[in-house]
């Protein structure tokens, strides 16, 4: 399997989950919908970022503190974070987890515009989106890291990504927002 094939395999392996997650997130056309999105996003990042702390090949962009500040700016309390998932014990699974978190940065470029349409900004409720969408070098650098991943680890990378999407789906479900 080549590196492009790993990236393609990740995209193919998680496509259905990704589609469900996008549908769960929705367009947040109202401030209340955005608040729900932000609460779920905080819980997801607060659960996953500690698992990736110290992951030397790819340190996560720490968004949970920015999300907590965004919640406070909107007059919301910070929800309790679920415990970190036990899914990423291995380096390859952490790489799969990182794939999901880094991929969300691509979507944040669209989401920041939606937040601006609600009157939000980097200084008022959407700081995490501004921080997440401003560095356009992270995704290409991450793809280079994937390209260097030995074939023997690909199955574990795929498993880590799928399990991370499962966690996200549970946190972004209408019942938990």
**Mean pLDDT of the chain, nearest integer:** 92
Is residue 177 in some structural domain? no
> Residue 157: which of 91, 108, 113, 104 has the closest Cα?
91
pLDDT (tens digit, 9 = 90+) per residue, 104-155?
988 898 999 999 999 999 999 999 999 999 999 999 999 999 999 999 999 9
Is residue 92 in some structural domain? yes
Mean pLDDT of 59-68: 95
Name the residue range of residue 60's domain. 3-171
- Residue 56 pLDDT exceeds 90: no
Tell me if 57 sits within 8 A of 95, measured CB to CB. yes
- Residue 72 pLDDT exceeds 60: yes
Tell me if 79 sits within 8 A of 159, measured CB to CB. no
Is residue 44 in some structural domain? yes
Is residue 176 in some structural domain? no
Domain count, the chain: 1
Is residue 154 in some structural domain? yes
Which region among 10-19, 23-32, 95-104, 142-151 has the lowest average model confidence (pLDDT)? 23-32
Residue 52 sits in a domain of what CATH number? Answer: 1.20.910.10
Q: How many CA atoms lie within 13 A of 168 on its CB side?
A: 29
Please tell me whether residue 12 adopts helix, strand or coil conformation. Answer: helix
pTM confidence score: 0.93
């Amino acid at each position: 399997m080549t590196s492009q094939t790993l990236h393609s395999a990740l995209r193919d392996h998680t496509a259905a989950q990704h589609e469900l997650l996008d549908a769960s997130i929705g367009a947040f056309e109202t401030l209340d919908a955005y608040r729900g999105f932000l609460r779920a996003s905080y819980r997801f990042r607060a659960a996953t970022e500690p698992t990736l702390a110290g992951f030397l090949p790819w340190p996560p962009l720490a968004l949970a503190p920015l999300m907590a500040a965004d919640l406070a700016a909107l007059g919301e309390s910070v929800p309790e974070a679920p415990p970190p998932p036990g899914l990423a014990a291995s380096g390859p699974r952490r790489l799969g987890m990182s794939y999901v978190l880094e991929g969300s940065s691509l979507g944040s470029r669209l989401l920041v515009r939606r937040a601006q349409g609600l009157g939000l900004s980097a200084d008022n409720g959407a700081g995490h989106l501004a921080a997440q969408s401003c560095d356009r070098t992270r995704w290409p650098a991450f793809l280079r890291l994937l390209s260097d991943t030995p074939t023997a680890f690909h199955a574990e990378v795929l498993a880590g990504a799928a399990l991370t999407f499962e966690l996200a789906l549970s946190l972004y479900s209408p019942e938990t927002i």
